[in-house]
Amino acid sequence: MNAYNSEKGFSLIEVLVAVAIVAILAGAITPLVLKYIGDARSARALSDARTMGQAIIAFNLDTGRWPVSNDGNLNNAGELSRLVGLANSDITAANIPPGAGVATGDGNWDGGGSGGTGGAIEDFLRFNADADTDPLYVTSNNPAVAPGWDGPYVQDVPSDPWGNPYVVNIRYLDGGGVTGATSTEERDHAVFILSAGANGQFETSFDDATGLSNDAMGGDDVGWMIEGRATAP
């Protein structure tokens, strides 16, 4: 008995049909995958912002102050208006997302207008020191007895999921005493640790005259509110 094996290949029509089916499936699945990736990035940005925001609050609970002074002397011209997730030497407008021009003062997150001087988040929350001052704030091993810095409060300061730095409008923290910020602005202005989101442009207001009722996060910005009012006064 002779054994006979035959191998039949695919016809051109069968190949074309298979390719068409794969293309249709890919077209249907791709938007879902992209949405999942986008949602995952936004969730990570929110988690990062919450972690760093809570670290700033812990800093305040320990020291009795906010991380606004880059020279160890509060209530003078040396206070900061922003904290940025970059090394101090890298804090330039070119390295921070611009404003989209859709919210009052949204171009100030990178230092324009009332954006003022920026300091590195890591200097305050990880090192308690910068190139000129060490320590920035008095240290303490028992802040409940003697207030003082007892960090590090974060292990690292990541970039957001789109590769940009987080920025905090620290000038508006209540009791921060930043030169140029009034007590009314401190009371009424939202303070965010904020990512510019997927489009890489800030769409949230950073402006002295803007209260929280008009200062919710805009566009696709992602962040966590450290402090603010729920309604306008």
Q: Name which residue leads in pLDDT, 144 or 30.
A: 144
Neighbours of 97 (CB within 10 A): 24
Residue 110 clears pLDDT 70, i.e. is over it: yes
β-bridge pairing 191-195 and 167-168: antiparallel
Q: 35-81 pLDDT, tens per residue?
A: 555 688 999 999 999 999 999 999 999 999 999 988 766 666 678 99
Say if CB 168 and CB 192 are below 8 A apart. Answer: yes
Whole-number average pLDDT of the chain: 86
Q: 164-197 pLDDT, tens per residue?
A: 999 999 999 998 888 888 888 888 889 999 999 9
pLDDT confidence bin for 24, thresholds 50/70/90: confident
Give the residue from 78, 205, 185, 204 showing the smallest Cα distance to 136. 78
Report the distance separating Cα 87 and Cα 211, nearest Å.
30
Q: 74-105 pLDDT, tens per residue?
A: 666 678 999 999 999 999 999 999 999 999 89
DSSP 131: S
Residue whose structure tokens are 């769409």: 203
Per the structure block, which two tokens stand in for 5? 């094996």
Give the residue from 216, 214, 218 showing the smallest Cα distance to 232. 214
pLDDT at 213: 64
User: What is the pTM assigned to this prediction?
Assistant: 0.82
